Structure 1
Amino acid sequence: MKTRTVPTGQSKWYKTQLLLKNNTIKLFIPDTRKFNKRNLEQMIRSYGMIYIKPERGTYGNGVIRAEQGEHRGFTYQYEETIRHFDTFEAFHSSLAKKTGRRSYLIQKGIHLLKHNGRRFDIRVMVQLSPKGVWEATGIIGRLGHPRKIVTNYHSGGKPTAIEKLLSTHLTSMQLAQLTGELNRLGTRIAAQMQKTFPRHRQFGVDVGLDRTLKPWIIEVNMNPDPYIFNQLKDKSMYRRVMRYRRFYLKQ
């Protein structure tokens, strides 16, 4: 039985290294390192909260959220299961068993903004227009399941208009400014990725906002799902995304 080879472009580590080459984009990338005992200890003690995620994987599968508590204990959550440890050694040992031989990354944890007590992040769809220009064609919020640590639709997340999610955090003018900033960031990322993947015509940029409203790049998806935009009541973004998609599928 043949083992399926995952394309290089699906490696989170590889994509992170590509983005770090751009001095503007790298300001929005959380500290990301390979999973090992030394990096785990340095990062959990430096940041207090981290995410441990498979280098290759989709839909938020395998993502772990870990924290160091006030009393120097350690906790991690995987799906809906939470485990507590008194020592770093026990904490690391359990995580090492959980990750096994798979390659994992550690990422500085971003304390995401919340809506009604639920974390959310934002997906920016960026597509190459018929004129050959990168455009941000859609932007949508992903409201996480109340008991989950990821926001993906396949893990119980709910696609939601960003106006609703950010209504208690921003004025309409601030929202317009932030949307413009995210769209510009998305097109910069697409242009940077295109240098290595010249045949690619769309990218999905997942962005988290921290409590100061600074955007952080969580991940860049090579094959983003266009159909989440159909979940919105306003179908204009969905129609635009699909129009662009149909155009380059004909090429």
Structure 2
Amino acid sequence: MATKPILGILTWREGKRFEEPGYLRRLVLAGRQMGAETFLFSHQDVFLSQKKIRGFVPAKGGGWESRMFPWPELVIDRYRKRVKEYMRLRHSGLFSFANSPFSKKWRVTEFLSKHDRVKRWVPETRLYARGSVKAMLSRYPIVYVKPGNGTGGRSIVKIAAQGKQYLVQGRDRRLLQKKASFSSAEAVERWIQRWVREQRIRDGNFLVQQGLDLALVPNRVADVRLLIQKNGAGEWDVTGCGVRLGPVGSSISNLHGGGEAISFSRFVAKRFGAERTRQIQQECSQMAHEVAAVLEEKFGRMMEFGLDVGVDVQGRVWLIEVNPKPGREIFRQMGDRETYAEAIARPVSFALHVISTEGRQRARHTGT
């Protein structure tokens, strides 16, 4: 009888407390339903001398139970904290991974902004330094300052020129709203210097980015979250996309900050009509495929990307950010259960494709 494929999911844990436990539970169950022995583990669960892993699986009635598992044939990396123990394990060569290590946000943005295939979609972005905010405000009416290693809308500031005033609004590391107004770019620069010092996330840098007018609804920021994933044949395919509409007066659209999830086609069609919406959606898909392809060429095998996409008031498409370990809750919050289920299943489908393909390649090499 054929043995089950063994699939590990590397993630952060403390005791039996996991990051993103709801998604990880669904991912393990999806693996089980597809016939794979699937479990979670962290850097402290590797027993090299025994070639065994302490793995965790959902327990009946909730929570997690652990037991020893054989060495995984492939590992999906969902570890989102860049602690040294994780980094050491990630680069140890002990495992075959479905997704390669990625780089810091600034380096990725810099790479994409210079690549001929994708640079037309990337807003101007600079690494924060003294004077950079003032320089960008001389070029654009809206400027964003954001952490290069941030998530969930934390520590992001929007600066908008209105008449002779500069309005500053954002959310701090605890997602509390902050607002201020200044009469000069120099005053804004001084305020941002303090913000960068106080709201830094770990040891990360800040970025200064050309702002986009994404107020497709007056006084509300809207952006698009697009998920592109490898399917069971190992090919890139857009799983779905949705619009995140920020609260009234907020500088961000993130769902963590009170934003709401809305159908892309329905929302965009209200502004641009059905035909233009179809063209915008087509361009978003083209951009996603191009970005996925050039990033995979640069970093090695990847399996999914979440793209934050801006559609400005003129209908122009922009790439705001790329996340190699994206969430998929937007589909659940939109009520699109089918896309949400597919977004969970696809990493497992792709992993099983890799295990099967690599197994056949090994068999050819060994002649078995």
Shift of residue 249, structure 1, vs aligned partner: 4.5
1:54 maps to amino acid: P
Note the alpha carbon deviations across 1:138-176, whole angstroms, 9 max, x for none. Answer: 111111122321111111111111123113212222222
| Alpha-carbon distance in structure 2 between the residues aligned to 1:139 and 1:47 | 28
| Alpha-carbon distance in structure 2 between the residues aligned to 1:234 and 1:193 | 28
Change (3 A) 1:196 1:24: closer
Q: Match of 1:78?
A: 170
Q: Match of 1:115?
A: 217
1:145 is paired with a residue whose SS is coil
The answer to whether 1:31 aligns with 2:130 is no
Q: Match of 2:307?
A: 205
Whose Rg is larger? 2
1:148 is paired with a residue whose SS is coil
The answer to whether 1:99 aligns with 2:161 is no
| Alpha-carbon distance in structure 2 between the residues aligned to 1:227 and 1:70 | 39
Shift of residue 10, structure 1, vs aligned partner: 5.4
Shift of residue 117, structure 1, vs aligned partner: 4.4
| Alpha-carbon distance in structure 2 between the residues aligned to 1:35 and 1:234 | 39
Could you tell me whether the CA contact under 8 Å between 1:142 and 1:151 is conserved in 2? yes
Q: Match of 2:142?
A: 49
Over 6 Å off, 4+ runs: none
Shift of residue 49, structure 1, vs aligned partner: 1.2
1:4 maps to amino acid: V
Shift of residue 93, structure 1, vs aligned partner: 1.3
Shift of residue 194, structure 1, vs aligned partner: 0.9
Shift of residue 198, structure 1, vs aligned partner: 1.9
Q: Match of 2:152?
A: 59
1:229 is paired with a residue whose SS is helix
Could you tell me whether the CA contact under 8 Å between 2:216 and 2:312 is conserved in 1? no
Deviates more, 1:199-208 or 1:3-12: 3-12
The answer to whether 1:153 aligns with 2:246 is no
Percent identity between the aligned chains? 26
Note the aligned Cα RMSD (angstroms).
Answer: 2.1
Shift of residue 235, structure 1, vs aligned partner: 2.5
Q: Match of 1:173?
A: 275
1:169 is paired with a residue whose SS is helix
Q: TM-score, normalised by structure 2?
A: 0.63
2:214 maps to amino acid: L
Could you tell me whether the CA contact under 8 Å between 1:10 and 1:222 is conserved in 2? no
| Alpha-carbon distance in structure 1 between the residues aligned to 2:280 and 2:186 | 42
Q: Match of 1:227?
A: 329
Shift of residue 218, structure 1, vs aligned partner: 0.7
Q: Match of 1:4?
A: 83
Note the alpha carbon deviations across 1:195-243, whole angstroms, 9 max, x for none. Answer: 2332320000111111110011110011111232122233332232223
| Alpha-carbon distance in structure 2 between the residues aligned to 1:123 and 1:220 | 10
2:188 maps to amino acid: F
1:246 is paired with a residue whose SS is helix
Note the alpha carbon deviations across 1:16-36, whole angstroms, 9 max, x for none. Answer: 122124213100100101112
| Alpha-carbon distance in structure 1 between the residues aligned to 2:322 and 2:231 | 19
Could you tell me whether the CA contact under 8 Å between 2:229 and 2:237 is conserved in 1? yes
The answer to whether 1:137 aligns with 2:239 is yes
Q: Match of 1:189?
A: 291
Q: Name structure 1 gaps, 5 residues minimum.
A: none
The answer to whether 1:246 aligns with 2:338 is no
Which protein has greater RCO, CA pairs closer than 8 Å, 6+ apart?
1
| Alpha-carbon distance in structure 2 between the residues aligned to 1:227 and 1:84 | 34
1:76 is paired with a residue whose SS is strand
| Alpha-carbon distance in structure 2 between the residues aligned to 1:11 and 1:148 | 26
Could you tell me whether the CA contact under 8 Å between 2:232 and 2:349 is conserved in 1? yes
| Alpha-carbon distance in structure 1 between the residues aligned to 2:344 and 2:205 | 35
Deviates more, 1:164-173 or 1:138-147: 164-173
2:253 is paired with a residue whose SS is coil
Shift of residue 82, structure 1, vs aligned partner: 1.5
